[in-house]
Amino acid sequence: MTDSSRYVLTPGAHGPEATIIATFRAPADTTAWILHCNGAIAWGLQRFDQGGWRDAWVAMTNQCLSPAIVVRGDSAFVDTLVFTPSAGAILDSAGAFAGTYRVVFYNVLSSFDPAQRPFGPELPIERRVSARITLGE
């Protein structure tokens, strides 16, 4: 879930930005492991377009592997995500980023074995996305 259902891009240090406080809650019957690099998690925005969801923007992170964040059943991980549109962001036909989105957490595993590659299976997408949010300019 997110702290709001609507975000407006405002001037920031590196151009327009929106600050989203996002919460990942592990399903009651599951322990989840979030992979990260020194606290930087892999997250992104998916845009609702033509009846479906597609990746629109993904945060860039380093490739180090810090000890996984463990989120036990029905507990939560909260992070502040700063979205700044980049050259790789998906724009609509008018060249704007405004639209309907959802936050998606990547590298959230349902089991974790540091000796294996991959480290474990990712949780199903529907268990690691937020409700719909609106981003406006």
What is the value of pTM for the model shown?
A: 0.88
What percent of the chain is predicted at pLDDT more than 90? Answer: 68
For position 88, what pLDDT does the model report? 58
For position 108, what pLDDT does the model report? 97
Strand partners, 102: 46
pLDDT at residue 94 above 60? no
Label each residue of the chain as H, E or C: CECCCEEECEEECCEEEEEEEEEEECCCCCCEEECEECCEECEEEEEEECCEEEEEEECCCCCCCCCCEEECCCCEEEEEEEECCCCCCCCCCCCCCCEEEEEEECCEECCCCCCCCCCCCECCHHHCECCCEEEEC
85 band by pLDDT with thresholds 50, 70 and 90? confident
Q: What distance in Å separates the CA atoms of residue 25 and residue 136, rounded to the nearest whole number?
A: 26
Q: Which residues, in sequence order, are CB contacts of 120 under 8 Å at separation 6+?
A: 33, 109, 110, 111, 112, 113
Q: Buried b vs exposed e over 9-20: b needs ≥16 C-beta within 10 Å? A: beeeeeeebbeb
Domains of the chain, earliest start first: 6-136 (2.60.40)
98 band by pLDDT with thresholds 50, 70 and 90? confident
pLDDT at residue 122 above 90? yes
pLDDT (average), residues 52-80: 92
User: For the segment 67-84, what is each residue's pLDDT rounded down to a tens digit?
Assistant: 999 999 989 999 999 988
